[in-house]
Each structure stands twice: as structure tokens, then as C-alpha cells.
Amino acid sequence: MPVSYSPPPLHDPHASASSASASGAGKGLRVLAALIIILAMMALGVLTGFSLTPDARKLLERPGTGRALGGMKTVRIANGMLTAPAGRMIRLGKSKEYALRLPVAGDDGQGGALTLIFSETKKALLPMRQRAAIYRHYMDGKPRRTPMGLAEYHFRAASPYGDVTLYVGRKAGRIILISCRDQLSQSGIPACSSAFSPLPGLIVTYAFSRAQLKNWSRLDALAHQALAQYYQRG
């Protein structure tokens, strides 16, 4: 007997019932405020890409090899210390953002790379329910189930997200949003990415190729492991 599938909801599972019963006007104001914030973040390159120097682009495109990494490098970011191999870390332009590129092996044994971007910012990552309210306005049709355990959402072509496919999954009680662009961005950041905020003032984005999407759960775990290994608070 086939098992019915209910895609992960595009809302905050911890949102209170009172928020669900808020007036239409109140919801409209919240969505408008969230949209203004997200557009400002997009203008700063937090969501849509990063401004890379030529050296940074070369680093992100460098294959994972056994070459010398030049020792360890430590930088202060968001009230903490990021310490990682110097040959795998680069500052992104003049911003308080650092990219760390790590070679990884997928479940199928194929090699790849996971790029982590540590961003110090005064802007908080939007709560799930606010992001969902914005995305829902531009959705095109119903979600599709994928063999990877993700729900696949598409946006209307004329929307700001027309070249983006959104994947939503559940893991350990968390809802994970993964956005994949149709092509590699001009900035050199891989096509698929997800973000989380481990503490105020710090956003960690992990990016990977679309071919690695099938390993999304493992990549999410590796991103959190890398945070614990390379970043120390205080």
C-alpha cells in the first residue's frame, strides 16, 4: 500500500496559535517588513551571492588535493575565533566574511567540496515563518516529492526567485531550506546553499554543487561539525 506523503510545511513548527489567528492586516505588515529586510540582505549579497576577489575565486575553484595548506590561520569574527588551514580559507572582499573550502566524499564515494561562508552581520537570519511567508507568495504550483526525501518547490518565472528551486527537508526536528540556482553564480559560489545562525551576529552558509544534493543530510551534518571544529566562541 502506498504511503501518503505530506511535504514539510513552509512555516515555523514552533509558531504559536495566536500568530495563526492574527488579522490579515497584521500579517500583511509583517510580510512587508520581512520583504524589506530580505531585499536589503540580497543587496548586501547575504542571500544571492558574495563579491569575490580573483584570489578567492581561484581558492573556491581549487580541487581538493593533498598539497600543503600553509599551516593554520586564525581570524576574529562575530565575537569568536575562526581557526582553519590557511590554504583553504579566504576573506571575501572587504567584508567581514570568510570562505572555507573543504573536500568531502559523498555516500557514493565520489569526491566533491563543501564551501562554508562565515558572515559577521548585524542582521538576524529571518525566522522560518517569515521566510515562508515571502516564498509562498511567489510559489508556482504544488510541491513535488523527490527520492532524496526532500520536497521540491518551484517559483513563478517572473518572480525574484524565478531561477531558484527550493528544497525543504526535516532533520532532527529542524526544517532545512536548500536553495539551488539554475547555474553557478557569477561570484563563484556553488549553485546550492543553505544557511543557519548558530549565535547572534554570525550566519553560516554552506554551499555545494547540485550533483551533491542527494547527500544533503550528510552535508548539513558536516557543516555543523566544521563549525564545532573550526570556530570557538569568546
Determine the pLDDT at residue 150. 96
Using pLDDT thresholds of 50, 70 and 90, give the confidence band for residue 99: very high
User: CA–CA separation, 60 vs 175, rounded Å?
Assistant: 28
Instruction: Give the chain's largest Cα–Cα span.
Output: 60
Determine the pLDDT at residue 128. 76
Residue 192 makes CB contacts below 8 A (sequence gap 6+) with 178, 179, 180, 181, 207, 208, 209, 210, 212, 213
Domain for residue 3, yes or no?
no
Sole residue written with cell 539551488: 180
Task: Give yes or no for a contact between 131 and 149, defined as CB atoms under 8 angstroms apart.
Answer: no
Domain for residue 8, yes or no?
no
Domain for residue 209, yes or no?
yes
User: CA–CA separation, 220 vs 142, rounded Å?
Assistant: 25
Q: Where do runs of H (alpha helix) occur along the chain? A: 17-20, 24-44, 54-61, 128-138, 216-230
Domain for residue 11, yes or no?
no
| Count of domains for the chain | 1
Domain for residue 38, yes or no?
yes
Cα dihedral 210→212→218→222 (10° resolution)? -80
As given in the structure block, the three cell numbers for residue 157 are 518565472
Whether this prediction's pTM lies above 0.85 is answered by: no
Other CB atoms closer than 10 Å to residue 63's CB: what's the count? 10
Flag whether pLDDT at 70 surpasses 70: no
151-154 vs 231-233, strand pairing mode:
unpaired
Domain for residue 4, yes or no?
no
Helices and strands counted in the chain (H then E): 5, 12
Domain for residue 2, yes or no?
no
Domain for residue 130, yes or no?
yes
> pLDDT tens digits for 143-195?
999 999 999 999 999 998 898 999 999 998 899 999 998 765 555 566 899 99
Most confident stretch, 32-36, 124-128, 130-134, 143-147:
143-147
Parent domain of 189? 17-233
